[in-house]
Amino acid sequence: MAATGQAPTATEYIVHHLTHLSTAKQKVIVDFSIVNVDTVIFSVLMLGITLWILHSAARRATSGVPGKFQAFVEMLVELVEEQSKSIVHGDRTFIAPLALTVFVWIVLMNAIDLIPVDLLPWIAGLFGVHYLRPLPTADLNGTLGMSFGVFLLMIYYGIKVKGFGGFLHELVAAPFGTSKNPLIAIPLGIANLGLNIIEYLAKMVSLGMRLFGNMYAGELLFFLIALLGGFVAMNTTGVFMAIGHVIAGTAWLLFHILIVLLQAFIFMMLTMVYIGQAHEGH
């Protein structure tokens, strides 16, 4: 930040808001010893609220005329159930509730981006916390962590449905097939295994990167719009910038609500698609 008593520059403002509350300052690209505390706190908090919402809906469910809250949750449940029927051909006892939980959880995490960008860091500053980045889905560590969980579920269901031997056989026998001739089977097996490893890793990385990229871009645009308000002065230019700040902020807020919901829906759908593919053979 700028020196005491001076307003930060645009670069300092954005860098400050992009800095995590972490256990240490990261000096290299990959460092698993560092934990972004704000990402952990807000993601766990939103998960707790998600579970509370779904538990409350299940506890209040009645066979009579549903209230607005119950009707809304039932609409979400029916949406996820219909999608899971067409995607996952097998036991959906765990998958459909998982997809619903993922959808609501990501919606709540994404919705943090709709809170004024300076509000939560300002509140944290009152308690001596100088850095706070509250949007978990704009942290690549958070989104890759969720996609890694989906990766583990793909492996789990692949083994559960096909058996351990069947799962390993598919890794080395698909998509190019195999041969009874060892001279042909070994190169084919290596090629099949390499492509399957790439496929699994590509699914995991792309799933996390897609959510991260969209939310990071949205977060950064909110910072840029907030800077317009910081340049407002008592002159003609300041008045026009204030008007632009309000118009741009409102327009992006309304559009970003769609992004918040759409990215959660895409992550949920791809989660079911990948798990559904684990139920099927090549």
Question: Active-site residue among 33, 110, 206, 235?
Answer: 206
Helix (H) or strand (E) holding 266: helix 236-278
Question: Active-site residue among 84, 141, 147, 214?
Answer: 214
Q: Is 206 a catalytic residue?
A: yes
The answer to whether the beta carbons of residues 216 and 263 sit under 8 Å apart is no
Q: Is 210 a catalytic residue?
A: yes
Question: Active-site residue among 86, 92, 210, 235?
Answer: 210
The answer to whether the beta carbons of residues 113 and 138 sit under 8 Å apart is yes
Two structure tokens written together for 193: 């295994």
For 229, counting Cβ atoms within 10 Å of its Cβ (0-12 exposed, 13-18 middle, 19+ buried), the class is middle
Cα Rg of the chain (Å, integer)? 23
The answer to whether the beta carbons of residues 270 and 207 sit under 8 Å apart is yes
Helix (H, G, I), strand (E, B) or coil at 156: helix
Residues annotated catalytic, as ranges:
206, 210, 214
